A and B are shown apart, each in its own frame.
Chain A
Amino acid sequence: MTGDLRVVLPLACLAGGAFVVYLVARFVTSRNDLLALFTAGVLTAALTALALLQLAAADGGPPSGNHIPSWGHFGPDGALLRADSGALVVIGIALGLGLLVTVYSARYLALDRRYETFYPLLLMLIAGLIGMLLAEDLFSLYMFSELMSVAAYVLVAFRRRNTTAIEAGFKYLVMGSVGTVIVLFGISLVYRETGHLMLSQMTGTPGPWTRAGAACFLVGLGIKSAIVPLHTWLPDAHGRAPSSISAMLSGVIVQSAFYTLLKVCLGLGFPTRSLGTLLIVLSLLNMTLGNGLALVQTHTKRLLAYSTIAQMGYIMLSMGVGLRYNIPEAAQAGLFLMLAQATTKGLAFLCQGVSYFYCGATTIDQLRGIAAQMPLIAVAFSVALAGLAGVPPLAGFVGKWFILTNAVRSADALGYVGLAVFLLNSLLALGYYLPLIGTLFAPPLLDTEGAGARRIQVSPWMALPIITLGALVLAIGLYPGPWLAWTANAGVYLLALRR
């Protein structure tokens, strides 16, 4: 096995870290905060490794071509892992969010205990995600995506005394497994025709089996990226998981599956224009259904979960416009939206988690008067919701600006339809984001026996990630330049995959 060791380093950090954390939890200490710090250390190491890798990728010259750092070479041009620029962005988001979620869990996990399983599973989840994004041959990709999914199933059902959590985890497991089987079937179809599974070597016009294989990937990974009508598991899973896990799932896991879907489908020679058209059409469903159903939710986390389906629609629209009209900026905007969504939705779930932790709030009505008890959380939650609604100057607005710009640039009927539906949806979405903000700041109901006005001191473990994410949402909105530069290569790379 040869190649650039920096490619495998983040993965090795996390996979090794998962075992070490488990051993530490069993034999050294079972204190939550120490374990969280240790896990955070592992994630920081992985982030450092990723930074090195990012530098290696920057040395490599143009974003497409043979300069992409890779590891595990065999054959003339084969490699196990390849660090393309889009994957690096998504991995960076995942590690950053994972780090914040870990710090947050140092206090939040007091609700669930069983620290020795939580932190290793979290690390496995991110390791699976990294492997899936870096994997160059389809079988490793499949294995890593399974690692990620299995960890996610368990984490969704982590509150095992709660029957609805078990139900949600089971539903997720069943639907996820169907997706997995379809992907595996697709792999076998591709193998039948080409005799190998290296994505980078799939050149020339794809034959019928490869086309069928690509379609299988579209459906299989479509389930995991919650593309309507394959989204039905998401509201349950994201609504029932512990909030810290919901933040990861809604913030980055779904998006990573979607990025993988694009990479594989394009790599297998799925006609770019048709893929773009398909994504635009499906995105209309995602946006409308997600926003429409979010309007009628009474549970905060289910509302946020439906909003994730809608936000996936925005990402799909942007990517679809990029692919259909060959606009690299639109694909870049899709990745930027993933970043905005990760920070904003992550922030929203973490704030909801704090409200649940201290006040037991699960429904929207129970959030009344949170502002009087925890002003910081109410403000951060409002920033998150306003960001999701695309109110300037927050991160979501910059994403909205670029979606609209590129849809206008497409100068085509379908692009304009996408634009109009997107605009209607951003109005529709205000219908649930704004009342939720209003509820946070509403005076508490009188019959709470005077408990309503009591100030609650939020633990610094939970406050720190929330402040960090809030600052990021604002910073990305006010000064999007560097973040856009980070995603610029990825857009070019994705479009360079087309044939």
Chain B
Amino acid sequence: MNAETIWLMTILGAPLAAVLLLFLLRERGVRVAGWIAGLAAALSLAGTFALLPALQRGDVPVLDVRWIPDANIRLSLRMDWLTFPFLVTEAAVTLLAIVYTWGYHHPDSRTPIFYGLLMLFAIGMSGTTLADAMFLFYIFWELMLVASCALIAIWGEGEHRGAVALKYFIFTHLGSLMVLVGLLLLYNATGNDSFSALRAGVTLAPGLVTTATVLFIVGFCVKMAIFPLHLWLPDAHAVAPMPVTIMLAAAMLSMGTYGILRFPLSIFSPAQMAPFAVPMMVAGIVSELYGALMALAEQDIKRIIAYSSVSQMGYILFGLGTLTHDGIAGSTLHVIFHAIVKALLFMGVGLVVRATGRRRITQIGGLGSAMPLVALCIGTGALAIAGMPPLCIFDSEWMIFAGGFHTAHIGLSILTLFGSLLTVAYALWFVGRILFGDRPEGLTIDRLPRAMVAPTVLLTALALIEGLFPAPVFNWVDQALNLILGGTW
């Protein structure tokens, strides 16, 4: 066992140890729970970066153990270039969400369970990206759902949290089952649940290729909340406690993108994928426009940002659908940059809700002068989501549009480009209404915990830095694409 394997195990092992510790401590651990979770999340992020040099040397850290020999099922983890960008995103979002929770969450006897479930949610996400075998992949994939659903059901806001959690579970489980059948089609074709067998090449009947691709794309689109499969998202995001919303929006949605990259795009050839290009692009545009329109119409500030996710995932699906190097690179980059900006916006909204105690946009206004720092963060976030240079999302959207114009479907690309005007509209209108104008009657501003402000400011800085210097991140993504596309595209 070498250092790489140990770091690989740390990425999952540190949060797992934290979960066990927190569940064992229960009410005895109220005061240390936040620190335990924070430490575990930091270790997980450190483990991810510790493996970067190995990746750059061309090594592939793996862990591979026999699990269910009778069914050729193995317990294997593997870190490659496709895993890395997603893993960094999740680990960083988790760490920031935990820090944010220090200020957000009022400690009570169930606090350790709250942090424990957050860590379990994080394990689900990083496990999904690290898993190198189907059985394990699916277990982590569902763990993500179970943990986040429990968080919504127990700590959600409002009377209907039980119903919302149920809807969230059943809806996304539908997607999971489609993915599961897709996985089993591959498992059956190779007789082996390891992804390495898939990398070696799968031979499927043409009918099964179509079936598997449809199952994967539709199943993963449920997780990405692409219209009309997005129905779970606004409620789940609006009801979930803010740290969970941040993790859902910034990290979990990207798992759908990871799935599409990992399965249909990596396994099947461009010729096999070609029939799905236009449907993916069209679904992406519809989602982009629908999400933006709903964000314009919504009154609840948390739901506005939630609908903005539907819209942004539309860009990503469009980029994937172009099946061009630029489009797919742009989408992968967009996952990372969207995570930064969406976490920033939700954190900002959480600060507004904490300070004012209000969520209806008509009852909020004039915050620009009342809380300038937070206003600056929210304003930057909104400009970023609108695709304003030099903020980070401009770079990834540029790539996505460039990918679109490389295809034969110029009309669709022009449509996306103009669709992005709606994004600008809702982003600016949102900012205009809450930051400027007159302050409504009786609006008081409470003091904000530093633990909530600090990650918000950090993300604001990151949104600017990544926009100005995207080269390192772009390099990771490019490596990932070389892995998937392998020169055949």
- Contact surface of A with B, Cβ cutoff 8 Å: 329, 386, 391-393, 397, 401-402, 404-405, 408-409, 419, 423, 426-427, 430-431, 434-435, 438, 441-442, 479-481, 484-485, 488
Decide if B50 is an interface residue (CB 8 Å cutoff).
no
Contact indicator B169/A430 (Cβ below 8 Å): yes
Q: Of the candidates A393, A435, A480, which one forms a contact with B162 in the assembled complex, judged by CB atoms under 8 Å apart? A: A435
Contact indicator A423/B181 (Cβ below 8 Å): yes
Contacts of A435 in B (CB 8 A): 162, 166
Contact indicator A391/B181 (Cβ below 8 Å): no
Known: A391-B146, A427-B177. A484 touches B70 (CB 8 A): yes
Contacts of A405 in B (CB 8 A): 71, 184, 187-188
Contact indicator A484/B68 (Cβ below 8 Å): yes
Minimal beta-carbon separation of A470 from chain B (angstroms):
14
The chain B residue with its CB closest to the CB of A405 is B184
Q: Most chain-B CB neighbours within 10 Å: which of A386, A401, A419, A431?
A: A401
> Taking chain A's interface residues, is the majority helix, strand, or loop, or is none over half, making it mixed?
helix
| Extra pairs beyond A392-B138, A423-B181, A442-B162 (10, CB < 8 Å) | A404-B181, A408-B184, A423-B177, A427-B170, A431-B170, A434-B169, A435-B166, A481-B69, A484-B70, A484-B71
Decide if B143 is an interface residue (CB 8 Å cutoff).
yes
Contacts of A401 in B (CB 8 A): 135, 138, 180, 184
- Contact surface of B with A, Cβ cutoff 8 Å: 67-71, 135, 138-139, 142-143, 146, 153-154, 162, 165-166, 169-170, 173-174, 177, 180-181, 184-185, 187-188
Contact indicator A409/B165 (Cβ below 8 Å): no
> Taking chain B's interface residues, is the majority helix, strand, or loop, or is none over half, making it mixed?
helix
Contact indicator A408/B153 (Cβ below 8 Å): no
Contacts of A442 in B (CB 8 A): 162
Q: For the complex, what is the distance from the CA of A438 to the CA of B138, rounded to whole Å?
A: 24
Q: For the complex, what is the distance from the CA of A370 to the CA of B165, rounded to whole Å?
A: 20
The chain B residue with its CB closest to the CB of A428 is B170
Contacts of B143 in A (CB 8 A): 392-393
Q: Of the candidates B180, B181, B188, which one forms a contact with A409 in the assembled complex, judged by CB atoms under 8 Å apart? A: B188
Contacts of A427 in B (CB 8 A): 170, 173-174, 177
Contact indicator A430/B170 (Cβ below 8 Å): yes
The chain B residue with its CB closest to the CB of A333 is B71
Minimal beta-carbon separation of B337 from chain A (angstroms):
32
Known: A386-B146, A430-B170, A441-B154. A402 touches B71 (CB 8 A): yes
Contacts of A480 in B (CB 8 A): 68
Contact indicator A393/B169 (Cβ below 8 Å): no
Q: For the complex, what is the distance from the CA of A435 to the CA of B169, rounded to whole Å?
A: 11
Minimal beta-carbon separation of A221 from chain B (angstroms):
29
Q: Of the candidates B153, B165, B174, B180, which one forms a contact with A404 in the assembled complex, judged by CB atoms under 8 Å apart? A: B180
Contact indicator B181/A481 (Cβ below 8 Å): no
Minimal beta-carbon separation of A197 from chain B (angstroms):
36
Minimal beta-carbon separation of B35 from chain A (angstroms):
24
Minimal beta-carbon separation of B339 from chain A (angstroms):
26
Q: For the complex, what is the distance from the CA of A391 to the CA of B141, rounded to whole Å?
A: 11
5 shortest A-B CB distances, which residue pairs? A392-B139, A484-B70, A438-B162, A408-B184, A392-B142
